[in-house]
């Protein structure tokens, strides 16, 4: 049993490794803006819970198609493709009903923190799995997902603290302009829900999704 992580996120990879799972990383090539625009045209307005799920699905299915290709199979997984399950994720912060992904630049990150400080927001992380296992190995061909939502309570930072944090560069590379497992940790006072989801990949939710295709989480370890 082998997991393919359709994400370049170091935090997601670290979360899995800490749980004893050592996935192959294959980064998707999807255009996120185009995917969301197509979904809105088809379904109308998207709630944050649905938006992250749409993107997670697009990433997982894009990587699944690449992994199943003859050239990709040899380069990425070799014989392991027969036992592979792909997981894709996407995260966004919801504040006052607005969806916030990665900041556009440092000024945007500062403005985000000025709006978030001393308040609570909800971090949504969509998860999508694609079962690529052979029939002989219990494969289902399933493609399914769900969203983890966690309320995050931020400390009341002053402008100097915000400027110093943004100057580290970390907020520019993560959804919501913060981390809980890195330099942003001191500025998150508490969370309500699964803290793994805030990091970017909910281990309990991944376990539940794997259960839907009758794969115990322990099968990923090794």
Rounded CA separation 176/179 (Å):
8
The burial of 183, by beta-carbon neighbours within 10 Å (0-12 exposed, 13-18 middle, 19 or more buried), is given as middle
Rounded CA separation 87/209 (Å):
10
Look at 29 and 77; give whichever has higher pLDDT.
29
Mean pLDDT across the chain:
91
198-214 pLDDT, tens digit each: 999 999 999 999 999 99
Look at 121 and 69; give whichever has higher pLDDT.
121
114-164 pLDDT, tens digit each: 999 999 999 999 999 999 998 888 889 999 999 999 999 999 999 999 999
Mean pLDDT of 180-190: 95
pLDDT band for 43, please (50, 70, 90 cuts): confident
Which letter does DSSP use for residue 179 in this model?
-
Quote the radius of gyration of the chain (alpha carbons, Å): 18
Q: Is the pLDDT of residue 36 over 60?
A: yes
List residues with catalytic annotation: 90
What string of DSSP letters covers 46-104? --HHHHHHHHHHHHHHHHHHHHHSHHHIIIIIGGGGGGEEEEEEEEEEEETTEEE-S-S
Poorest-confidence range of 8-12, 18-22, 97-101? 97-101
Query: Residue 35 is inside which H or E element, if any?
Result: helix 32-43
Which letter does DSSP use for residue 171 in this model?
G
User: What six digits make up the tokens of 190?
Assistant: 């508490």
Residues 6+ positions from 38 with CB-CB distance below 8 Å: none
pTM of the model: 0.90
Rounded CA separation 201/195 (Å):
9
Rounded CA separation 89/6 (Å):
7
Side-chain-side CA neighbours of residue 184 (13 Å): 29
**Where exactly are the structural domains of the chain?**
2-220
pLDDT band for 6, please (50, 70, 90 cuts): very high
pLDDT band for 80, please (50, 70, 90 cuts): low
Poorest-confidence range of 68-77, 126-135, 211-220? 68-77
Look at 29 and 71; give whichever has higher pLDDT.
29
Mean pLDDT of 83-88: 94
Q: Is the pLDDT of residue 20 over 80?
A: yes
Cβ-based neighbour number of residue 193 at 10 Å = 15
User: What six digits make up the tokens of 89?
Assistant: 């994720």
Asked whether the beta carbons of 5 and 12 are under 8 A apart, the reply is yes
Q: What is the CATH architecture of 2-220? A: Alpha-Beta Complex (3.90)
The confidence score (pLDDT) of residue 99 equals 84
């Amino acid at each position: 049993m082998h997991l393919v992580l359709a994400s370049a996120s170091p935090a997601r990879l670290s979360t899995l490794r800490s749980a004893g799972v050592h996935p192959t990383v294959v980064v998707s090539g999807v255009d996120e803006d185009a995917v969301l625009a197509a979904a809105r045209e088809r379904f109308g307005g998207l709630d944050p819970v649905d938006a992250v799920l749409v993107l997670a699905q697009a990433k997982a299915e894009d990587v699944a198609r690449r992994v199943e290709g003859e050239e990709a199979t040899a380069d990425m997984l070799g014989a392991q493709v027969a036992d592979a399950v792909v997981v894709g994720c996407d995260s966004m912060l919801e504040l006052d009903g607005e969806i916030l992904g990665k900041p556009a630049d440092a000024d945007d990150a500062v403005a985000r923190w000025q709006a978030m400080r001393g308040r609570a927001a909800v971090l949504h992380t969509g998860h999508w799995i694609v079962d690529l296992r052979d029939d002989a190995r219990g494969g289902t061909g399933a493609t399914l997902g769900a969203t983890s939502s966690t309320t995050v309570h931020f400390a009341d930072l002053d402008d100097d603290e915000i400027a110093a944090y943004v100057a580290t560069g970390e907020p520019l590379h993560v959804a919501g302009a913060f981390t809980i497992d890195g330099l942003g940790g001191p500025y998150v006072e508490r969370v309500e829900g699964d803290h793994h989801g805030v990091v970017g990949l909910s281990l309990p939710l991944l376990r539940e999704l794997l259960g839907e295709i009758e794969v115990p989480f322990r099968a990923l370890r090794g």
